[in-house]
Amino acid sequence: MTQKISEKIATLEEKVEWFYGDEFRLDEASKKYQEATKLAKEIEEDLGKLKNEIKIIEEDFSKES
């Protein structure tokens, strides 16, 4: 199942908060950072797709006017 953008953002926030929490361990930091970076890129791509979809819808509505 594909996560919604809002769910991905919530997951990313949890990953970032880990760095500030009591469970932070230096030996895990690199892996956690890579996971967070990958998720941030996915969110950015999802937002880009959504932006394109909105532009298409806007163009369709402007043609009907």
- The pTM of this model reads 0.77
Dihedral (CA of 54, 60, 63, 65) sign? negative
Helices (H), 1-65: 5-18, 26-64
The residue range of the domain holding 29 is 5-64
**pLDDT at position 61, please?**
80
Of 33, 44, 34, the residue nearest 9 (C-alpha): 44
Report DSSP state, residue 3: P
Q: What is the pLDDT along the chain (65 residues), one digit of tens a residue?
A: 478 999 999 999 999 999 999 999 999 999 999 999 999 999 999 999 999 989 888 888 887 65
**Number of structural domains the chain divides into:** 1
